[in-house]
Structure 1
Amino acid sequence: MKQFFLTVLGVFTGLILFLVVVPVVLLTAALTTSSKPTTPAQTVLELDLREGLSDQPSSNPFAAFSGAGLSVTRVVDVLAQAGEDRNVKALLIRLPEMGMTPATADELSQAIRRFRAAGKPVIAHSQGWMPVGTAVSSYMVGAAADQLWMQNTATFGAAGFSTDEMFLGRAFEKYGVDAEFEQRYEYKNAVNQFTQSDFTPAHREAMTAWMTAIYDSAVSGAARGRGMTPQALRGVIEAGPYSAQAALTARLIDRVGQVEEAEAEAKRRAGSRGEIVEFGDYASNVGEREGSGRSAVAIVGGEGAIVTGRGGGGSFGGGSSIQSDDTAEAIYDAIEDKDVKAIVFRVSSPGGSPEASEQILAAVRAARAAGKPVVVSMGAYAASGGYWISSEADWIVAQPSTLTGSIGVFGGKFVLADALARFGVDTRQIGVGGDYASAFSTSQPFSPSQRAAFAAGMDRTYEDFIARVSTGRKLPAERVREIARGRVWTGAQALPLGLVDQLGGVTEAVAKAKALARIPADQSVRFKRFPEQKSPWEALSEAFGVQSEAARALVMLGGVMADPQAQAVMRRVEGERMRGQGASVLAEQPLP
């Protein structure tokens, strides 16, 4: 009977694939191969930032169908192409009310200034800035435009940079949850939410420091765009909030009006036949910039938590992760490509598994050993494990507001026996083998010997991390220990410490990669992206790989469709490996 239901399930899944997914696959392929529409002669690109940006494009062909939008690196690339496109005359930006990731704001502001340098006007429109999170970073992006508009009923409330932290220490104590963690060292604050009821002095010191640095950077960037000194702009901002008319009087904005009025102004500047084109449509039309020339620069991407294994990014465009097998393989593929002379490794990650991080770092070492320089471009954050995989690159480029460093480690477990017992649930542990076999049991605390063994493992991981940074950054180990201890730094703070080499984005990273590869600055290069985007069948294989009967149905369907790539699904039927608990190298992440 069980087999009968599994077979029915497989057939049903096959029908769904045939009737729903396959048409989508065929439509995607048809759209990909069709001729590109012509860009209107007087185009105004409209870039809507209100839905947020990922750092990098997804390699999953179904990402668009799950609501995945644009990415920072894609926007930068498309703006560069638009700056050279004679048909694109102007840019209109819709700004978010709630702010954006600070490093994203840095990179967008730089790209906007390059677009303006091509002689093309930029108009930004806001429906207000809320007094939460990093709204001041959103304001900085608007300030980079030629004109900054604000809706008449909106409020300018970006008076600073704030965040709330939730601590569960007292609640855990009340309800019998025992959080047993080790951290190296006092600034590795990821576990504090589970063990404390308030900021520790080190936690408060570190957060205040990087928040102040981000705020200072945003105010300085906005002041540059508004033609004011940072001190003067700070005084005006912090005296808020303001109505739209008051913000105009205070020179925080240039015009008050509806977005339709801002669109009309942008079209007027584009010409008598000015036409609005959505940024995403234009990006699809022009595709990714490929460049030209005999030499190539590889662009390798990595976004999200660092984990072991393959197949990151979610079945149909879900949350991103850096899978160590995939990322290492992408770097090795770039090494083997004879046309590739240098590698730009774009990293946006709060960290993750030390083992996965080391696997990726080994690939970076292999690239350097093969004579191909590696330049890391840090995105929103490249901290903890994200810094581990970056540490031995030839050159590191970070945005002023990138969160980096966090050279430290933590790990542990929750003991739930007391909490569950209060609800009549009794847990008992039984095992065979050595004493450490039950170390991560949730029914009992660490024994003294287990705690000692686990702490020794934390120490080894921390020392390994110190050694990688010392080697890669050419710093004495003792100096690394002084600036490590789990502390998060912004890119601007990390530069004088020697943790990064240059402030900037992916554009600056590419220029440095060319220089290290001894390619003349005025010589064009091709861009090769690794890993390549998955085919629709590969994405389907990952989506249904854990369903054996569905897998067989998909393979049969693949045979009917004469697409042998569908056979790859059978490699996924064994499911995902169970991973034991252990050390993590994770850092705090910036607010959206």
Structure 2
Amino acid sequence: MRFLGNVLAVIVGLLIFSVLSFFILAGIIAIASSSDDEVKVKENTVLHLNLDGRTLVERTSENDFDLSSLSAFGGIPSVGLVNLKKAILTAKENENIKGIYLQAGMVIAGQAILQELRAELEDFKSSGKFIISYGEIYSEGGYFLSSVADEVYMNPMGGMDFNGFASEMVFLKGMFEKIEVEPVVFRVGEFKSAVEPFILDKMSDESRLQTESFLNDLNNIAMTQIGVSRNIPFEKVNEINDQMLIRKPQDAVDLKMVDGLWYEDQVIDLLKERLGLGEDDSINTINVKGINKTSKSKNRLSKNRIAVIIAEGEIVSGKADGMISSEKFAQEIKKARKNKDIKAIVLRVNSPGGSVLASEVIWREMAEAKKVKPVIASMGEVAASGGYYIAAPADTIVAQPNTITGSIGIFGLWFNAQGLLNNKLGITTDVAKTGELSNFMSATRKLSDLEKSIVQKNVEEGYDTFITRVSDGRNMSKDSVLKIASGRVWSGLQAKENGLVDILGGLEDAIAIAASKAGISQDFRVVYYPEEKPWFEQFLKELTDEVQATYTRTQLGTLFPIYQQIEKVKKYEGIMVRMPYDITIQ
């Protein structure tokens, strides 16, 4: 049996190796054959933006070959906001592009990133070119983006999720009670509810208050813009949304939310008509990567540069990939500060926060950079807690009205696993020590009052430091900061009213401010950091991540979200400056 098992293992290994080799070879051939090809936009061309089922992130690779084309592993392909905006601007300026065919019904993105992309599409329309949207099913966010189009069509058997925003939290208190693990919490601020999933079985009144407050802001912003685009009064759009009046496809037509219930071939015929083509003619289309190859960087020979450092993910210590690791990002900011050709720095933040120590390391480099050149913070979807901490030193903070920010608070979390070990597993421990605190914060017993007091004092001192960082960066008194802190989360609109944000806008606004402050408004080029890794290295990492995530998701099924929550707990080392919870708006 062991022999047969070994033979089977070898066969499986060879099969996997063969599949990987095929994809790798295909990628090499694709790149080798296309890297030198010059892309030309044919006359009468349509830019096809197919975002349906894709996740919007800050930036993705410009390489020809990426894992998003390999759906065999069940991963969700992603597309970068920077890449999309570049494509739309290029299409606006290219006379051969006549319009955009937008498919974004089930795009996966938060409101602020959709807002930024929507503004770029609005600007595209100012050129007089058309945007036609089609979707089989529209999610709330997908429709928010798609409603900017001149005409919106939906499949006759499709649907529209248009019933307002909701944010659902997962609570783990009952699970910890069953396995006899005791979470011990240290926090400052009545709104610092990041620890609530571990100690409660429902939202606290404070958490519900802040969540409903910013959700209402985000919803009103979306309803206002949809109303303007569709020429429907805000009150009517709000009524449709609040009462979920779109319950079948024809409702969307009757309420003027879509222009017709069409199949895609009918929409293609409409595009042909717009382009002056015959029934049997083919439409010239180009995608994001194709049109971006034709783009010529503004002032590409200029020595003046603006560094845009994209900080996306959780804030952690060290050099971890896929997150805002303190060592890596502090080094990026330091290099930009010392580079004489870089005249200003824009930190693009999309983060719920993380380690207070890692946030402080990045804050230090931001503060040092501010002494020698303009430093601007641009907030994306989320820039809260540690995300706000690292943005605080900036000369100017720019956020979208529906950015989620604030959460100026701090917490510590520890678990007593004595019950699990002793009662569930039959494991006991004993210790010999030289001092009263030699086994400080051991997870195999209850904490002493002295240990609790030491940790709580550290949390309170960390909170005071956080308040000071914001007070100094925003030129506000500490008392003024305390009134809007306590861990409370704000929308970008609320944050501006409270003095936490200077200007409502997107990344391009932040870049323009940086150029103006540096005195190079007309003569500069934008360079993005961190620099992209070689495509092959990215490919292997993405492939590994996709296989692992797909396997775990398949094994756990509906329990996968809880598994993700527990995995995040493992990253909670030391004192944390993090959002109340991971906000998923439905």
Common fold, TM-score beyond 0.5?
Answer: yes
Q: 2:525 maps to which residue? A: 526
Counterparts of 2:462 and 2:578, CA distance in 1: 13
8 Å contact kept, 1:291–1:524: yes
Aligned amino acid, residue 255 of structure 1: G
8 Å contact kept, 1:81–1:289: no
Query: How far off its partner does 1:478 sit?
Result: 0.8
Q: 1:569 maps to which residue? A: none
8 Å contact kept, 1:100–1:591: no
Residue of 263, 281, 291 corresponding to 1:258: 263
Q: In structure 2, list runs of 5 or more residues that go unmatched.
A: 1-9, 69-74, 544-569
Query: How far off its partner does 1:155 sit?
Result: 2.5
Identity %: 28
1:375-386 map, 5 Å:
375-386=376-387
Q: 1:584 maps to which residue? A: 576
Counterparts of 2:351 and 2:296, CA distance in 1: 23
Q: 1:82 maps to which residue? A: 91
1:407-446 map, 5 Å:
407-428=408-429, 430=431, 432=433, 434-446=435-447
Aligned amino acid, residue 413 of structure 2: G
8 Å contact kept, 2:195–2:413: no
Residue of 306, 312, 324 corresponding to 1:297: 306
Query: How far off its partner does 1:391 sit?
Result: 0.5
Counterparts of 1:186 and 1:412, CA distance in 2: 16
1:543-554 map, 5 Å:
none
| Distance 1:245-1:16 versus aligned 2 partners, 3 A rule | closer
Aligned amino acid, residue 312 of structure 2: E
Q: Establish whether residue 152 from structure 1 lines up as the match of residue 156 from structure 2.
A: yes
Aligned amino acid, residue 498 of structure 1: G
Task: Report Cα offsets for 1:343-377 as digits up to 9, x if no partner.
Answer: 1211100101112111212221222212x211111
Deviates more, 1:197-206 or 1:26-35: 26-35
| Distance 1:329-1:50 versus aligned 2 partners, 3 A rule | same
Residue of 338, 341, 358 corresponding to 1:339: 341
| Distance 1:22-1:138 versus aligned 2 partners, 3 A rule | closer
Counterparts of 1:281 and 1:516, CA distance in 2: 32
| Distance 1:580-1:286 versus aligned 2 partners, 3 A rule | same
| Distance 1:590-1:22 versus aligned 2 partners, 3 A rule | same
Q: Establish whether residue 205 from structure 1 lines up as the match of residue 209 from structure 2.
A: yes
| Distance 1:290-1:299 versus aligned 2 partners, 3 A rule | farther
Query: How far off its partner does 1:214 sit?
Result: 0.9
Q: 1:277 maps to which residue? A: 285
Q: 1:564 maps to which residue? A: none
Counterparts of 1:62 and 1:439, CA distance in 2: 53
1:3-152 map, 5 Å:
23=25, 26-27=28-29, 30=32, 33-58=35-60, 64-65=66-67, 68-97=77-106, 100-129=109-138, 135-152=139-156
Task: Report Cα offsets for 1:7-50 as digits up to 9, x if no partner.
Answer: xx9xx99x969967874774476357412322222221221222
Residue of 222, 228, 234 corresponding to 1:224: 228
| Distance 1:53-1:97 versus aligned 2 partners, 3 A rule | closer
Counterparts of 1:163 and 1:541, CA distance in 2: 34
Q: Establish whether residue 478 from structure 1 lines up as the match of residue 479 from structure 2.
A: yes
Deviates more, 1:18-27 or 1:81-90: 18-27
Provide the aligned length of Structure 1 versus Structure 2: 535
Query: How far off its partner does 1:115 sit?
Result: 0.9
Query: How far off its partner does 1:396 sit?
Result: 0.9
| Distance 1:345-1:98 versus aligned 2 partners, 3 A rule | closer
1:487-526 map, 5 Å:
487-520=488-521, 523-526=522-525
Counterparts of 1:431 and 1:107, CA distance in 2: 59
TM norm structure 2: 0.84
| Distance 1:60-1:429 versus aligned 2 partners, 3 A rule | farther
Aligned amino acid, residue 75 of structure 1: L
Query: How far off its partner does 1:276 sit?
Result: 5.1
Q: 1:367 maps to which residue? A: 369
Query: How far off its partner does 1:305 sit?
Result: 0.4
Counterparts of 1:475 and 1:526, CA distance in 2: 34
Query: How far off its partner does 1:419 sit?
Result: 2.8
Counterparts of 1:155 and 1:441, CA distance in 2: 54
Aligned amino acid, residue 384 of structure 1: S
SS at structure 1 position matched to 2:257: coil
CA RMSD of aligned residues (A): 3.1
Counterparts of 2:86 and 2:456, CA distance in 1: 46
8 Å contact kept, 1:61–1:534: no
Q: In structure 1, list runs of 5 or more residues that go unmatched.
A: 1-8, 130-134, 313-319, 545-577
Counterparts of 1:201 and 1:589, CA distance in 2: 18
TM norm structure 1: 0.83
Q: 2:358 maps to which residue? A: 356
